Amino acid sequence: MDETRWPALPVADWQDTRDTLHLWTQMVGKLRLELTPRVNHWWNVPLYVDARGLTTSLMPCGAHGLEVRFDFFAHDLVFERTDGARRTIALRPRSVADFFREFVSVLADLDVPARIHPMPVEIADAIPFPDDETHASYDADAVHRFWLSLVAAVRVLSVFRGEWDGKASPVHFFWGAFDLATSRFSGRPAPQHPGGVPNCPDWVMYEAYDAEVSSAGYWPGGAAEGAFYSYTYPEPPGFRERDLGVPGASFDTSLGEFVLPYRAVRESADPDALLLAFLRATARAGAETGGWPQATDAGVS
């Protein structure tokens, strides 16, 4: 087991930090939502794993371009404008409210034409950013290990994504649920999503799930050390009963998706191979039980 490729990340050891960082990423994600043109399924809003952390990539910003990056080496939130202007916010133990005040101040200083809606999304019992003195943790070592886990997951998810010759999303980090994901599409429309996501308008889900989709990714939440997941929407009859033949994988009825514990992956003799087997098997299960049109990729045909 290579700790630099698949680091241990027990949720109990960094949950407070994870929850604080989640809220900070939502501020940056909301900025990207404000500045970028809308793309199908909200593909214009996620963050991306890069060589130092998480980034918005380049966004239009008035007469300039702007990139905002979580740097998990220097532990700064870095704002860089294409005219050379640069600002930073320290990533350290501090409340969400304190971080939000400085975030808004930097946006004003850089003349960023965006207003950030101060309410977190996809979180039950959410506290508005300006009022949140509850979440105030930052363990730099844990955050760096989390980023390493994302780097490892991106490596495998990118291989999996490349096997599909139909429409597929980038491997991107959705700040709403704080998870890394990639999605495949059958090319057929889907029934309207029921909505009901905490602090998220139903019309957001309607757009996200307006087409038949198989999504897979990595969520650093729940118990133990988080999990890899895979689901198909709408869920086809017989999907959850499929025997994947992948050690450690199971169907979680409360989540409505197949899961493979992160710990099972990192402790296996070949983590990349185990994860790729899980991704391929769950995609095949969804495509076959859902009667997807024939696809010429290793994960389905």
Tell me which of 131, 153, 174 is where a domain ends: 131
The residue among 74, 106, 131 that closes a domain is 131
pLDDT digits (tens, 9 = 90+) for 238-280: 999 999 999 999 999 999 999 999 999 999 999 999 999 999 9
Q: Average of pLDDT values for 47-55?
A: 98
How confident is residue 54, by pLDDT bands cut at 50, 70 and 90? very high
Report yes or no on 209 lying in a domain. yes
Whether residue 286 has pLDDT greater than 80: yes
Q: Are residues 259 and 237 part of one domain? A: yes
pLDDT digits (tens, 9 = 90+) for 71-83: 999 999 999 999 9
What's the gap between Cα 20 and its chain centre?
15
User: What does the pLDDT look like over 90-106, one tens digit per residue?
Assistant: 999 999 999 999 999 99
Backbone angles phi, psi at 159, to 5 degrees: -60, -45
Evaluate whether residue 153 is within a structural domain. Answer: yes
Within a domain: 6: no
pTM: 0.95
- Residues 78, 115, single domain; the answer is yes
Q: Are 285 and 154 in a shared domain?
A: yes
Q: What residue numbers bound the domain in which 30 lies?
A: 11-131
Please tell me the predicted confidence (pLDDT) of residue 298. Answer: 45
Reply yes or no on whether the pLDDT at 2 is more than 60.
no
In a domain, residue 2? The reply is no
- Residue 269 shares a structural domain with residue 165: yes
Reported as a single tens digit per residue, the pLDDT across 220-241 is: 988 789 999 999 999 999 999 9
Residues 184 and 111 reside in one and the same domain: no
Tokens of 259: 């899961």
- Identify whether residues 169 and 271 lie together within a single domain: yes
**In total, how many domains does the chain have?**
2
* Mean pLDDT confidence for 203-207: 95
- Domain-located, residue 296: no
Q: How far is CA 229 from CA 18, 45, 51, 135, 181, in A?
A: 19, 21, 24, 27, 9
Asked whether residue 295 is assigned to any structural domain, the reply reads no
Of 77, 103, 131, which residue constitutes the final position of a domain?
Answer: 131
167 by Cβ neighbours in 10 Å (0-12 / 13-18 / 19+) ranks as middle
Instruction: Please check whether residues 163 and 115 belong to one and the same domain.
Output: no
Do 126 and 258 fall into the same domain?
no
- 101 Ramachandran zone, left/alpha/beta (phi>0; psi -120 to 50): alpha
Please report whether residue 294 resides in a domain: no
Regarding whether 219 and 123 lie in a shared domain, the answer is no
Co-location of 107 and 244 in the same domain: no
* Residue 225 CB partners (closer than 8 Å, separation 6+): 8, 9, 10, 11, 261, 262, 263, 266
Is residue 1 in some structural domain?
no
Average pLDDT, integer, range 157-164: 97
Q: What pLDDT does residue 301 have?
A: 45
Residues 280 and 155 in one domain: yes
Same domain, 155 and 253: yes
